[in-house]
Structure 1
Amino acid sequence: MEILWFGILAVLLAGYFALEGFDIGVGLLLPFTAERDRAVGAIAPFVLANEVWLVAVVGVLFGAFPSLEGEVLSGLYPVVVGLLVSWILRDAGLWFRRRLDGARWRSFWTAAVALGSLGLALSWGGVIAGITGAPALLGVVYGVVVAVLFAFHGWTFLAWRLPEEAAAQGASRTGRALAGSAAVACLPIVVPLAALAPEVVGRAAPSATLTVLSLIVLPVVPLLAGAQIWVWRAFRRGAVPTFF
């Protein structure tokens, strides 16, 4: 049962990096993008659905790995706070940048999206480095690596989501290329998690607790997976929404 829940945690974390990674990557690229409204509109249908993966990760940590959750929240408190603040800043930028007209208003919230996205990438580097016991400086370096990989993933996503504009720039990408960049974006979390697998499994909750969680959570998984698939099938191509 412990191995099953470790697998669930690994899938959720990898899913978050693969899906939310392109949202963060587009945010990082936003100051360098000519068609910023269309770039933000390209990720608009996916942002909330992708963030659900992080909420699910936190839920699994609380329920299945409580000691590990305590270590992350208490031992890495400044980094976790930075991650949450960056998350709020990025989302506030996405929601507010089109609420009013005006170049200054939109530029301010565009900068908020970019700074929040950078903060998310750097914070994740700090969290991963802290969990693995690496020095804080290495966490900054790792955060830069995460930011670069997310930016690459975001660039690939835009080239796939906006094929007409990408083709005009000679950068059109296929769904296979997007899947490849998603796999690359997963590496910063998958590699350390694989190395720490025995330690994480050893910190799982008692078997009785995991059994109860399985009975409660696992029946809901097909619904969540179905909703995610529906979002991708509904918005994978076509008109770009403007509610961001």
Structure 2
Amino acid sequence: MSVQIVWLVLLGLMLSGYFVLAGYDYGTQMLYSLVGRDASTRRVTRGALGPFFFGNEVWLVAFVGVLFGAFPLLEGELLAGLYPLLILLLAGLVVGKAAVQLRGRMESPSAGRLFDLLIVFGGLVPAMGWGLVVGLLLRGVPLRDDGTFTLGWSEVLDPFVVSAGLSNVLLLAAHGATFLSMRARGEVAQRARNLARPLLISAIVAVLATALLGGRTAVTRPVIALALAGVLVAALLGALVAAALGPRGSAFAATSVAALLPVPLIFASLYPFILVSHADGGPGLTVAEAAADSGTLRMLLPVGAVVIPVVIACQVMSWWLFRGRVGHQTPSYF
């Protein structure tokens, strides 16, 4: 295995961790007004996120760090090309984080209602934004000969891309529902369980519809893409069965698998490219072209060997320390 592949796997690991862990944050925020119908149940919903809320974003920071260090050319082209979409995505993320933090300090009813809306907005926008990014990368971007690209509305509003965005919204909403059914007590957990089944069914339908539109994508390995899409549907079906039978941890594990699968779907179905042009015979950016030189990648390996296990260990420890379920009497910073 080449050192470039090692770093590609590490890049995918960081992004997958972010999709799974921040994904249930976004899902919980999207369901906030549905599972929390009064001040008490909304406080429980916010409290369910409490110990993990900021730690989950560390995976995004680690992903960006690996991207900058190991794939500098990809970082330059990808961030510049997706700039407008990423700005909107990050704005939603920041607004949602601030709203969850500050909602409990809003004494005015009107201010409280505004912050409740911002919490939902802060979950919906990143969920939709990341789904659009996945769809754009699979659909292909308008790469020029110099490797740069600029998105237009025709690319963002492409039916496949929009379908991928909606699929991710439903997938993460279902992921949030299985998280809350496992993490919360009382009315919040029951409402989350009631929402999980229709959300999972809707997510399955959306993923299948997206796959049917996938004939227009620029993937280089369509068999692998279809196989991974099938695994994603199977994971959602597994979550549906687990949610019906009652083992909440199993349903959450299944939606976690579904939430991470878009990352290997991108990397495996585009390989050896990492960016593909949507034009037939157009230019593409390969993994080898996007990566730093082999000497730099080898020099960075000890850093990755230390930092990545620390990130994983801290996340595991956080989950273990705060493994109890949250109810009305549970103290919460939020």
Aligned partner of 1:141 in structure 2 is: 163
Local SS of the residue matching 1:97:
helix
Between the aligned partners of 1:150 and 1:139, the Cα distance in structure 2 is: 17
Between the aligned partners of 2:45 and 2:84, the Cα distance in structure 1 is: 31
Between the aligned partners of 1:16 and 1:216, the Cα distance in structure 2 is: 20
Look up the equivalent residue of 1:181 and give its one-letter code: T
State the Cα distance separating 1:166 from its structure 2 match: 5.9
Match of 2:23 among 21, 24, 49: 21
Look up the equivalent residue of 1:212 and give its one-letter code: M
Greater percentage in helix: 1
Aligned partner of 2:76 in structure 1 is: 70
Aligned partner of 1:192 in structure 2 is: 266
- Give the stretch that moved more between structures: 124-133 or 86-95: 124-133
Match of 1:103 among 100, 109, 120: 109
What percentage of residue pairs aligned between the two structures are identical? Answer: 37
Local SS of the residue matching 2:84:
helix
State the Cα distance separating 1:25 from its structure 2 match: 0.1
Flag the 1:147–1:204 CA change in 2: closer, same or farther, 3 A: same
**Structure 1 segment 1-40 matched on structure 2, within 5 A:** 1-33=3-35, 34=37, 35-40=41-46
Between the aligned partners of 1:167 and 1:29, the Cα distance in structure 2 is: 12
State the Cα distance separating 1:163 from its structure 2 match: 4.1
Structure with the bigger RCO (C-alpha within 8 Å, sep 6+) is: 1
1:226 matched to 2:232? The reply is: no
Structure 1 or 2, whichever has the larger Rg, is: 2
> Normalization by structure 1: what TM-score?
0.93
User: Please, what is the CA RMSD of the aligned residues?
Assistant: 1.9
1:243 matched to 2:317? The reply is: no
- Give the stretch that moved more between structures: 166-175 or 151-160: 166-175
- Give the stretch that moved more between structures: 23-32 or 159-168: 159-168
**Structure 1: which 5+ runs fail to align?**
none
Between the aligned partners of 1:32 and 1:131, the Cα distance in structure 2 is: 32
**Structure 2: which 5+ runs fail to align?**
142-154, 194-245, 275-286
Look up the equivalent residue of 1:25 and give its one-letter code: G
State the Cα distance separating 1:197 from its structure 2 match: 3.1
1:155 matched to 2:177? The reply is: yes
Alignment length, in residue pairs? 244
Match of 1:213 among 283, 291, 300: 300
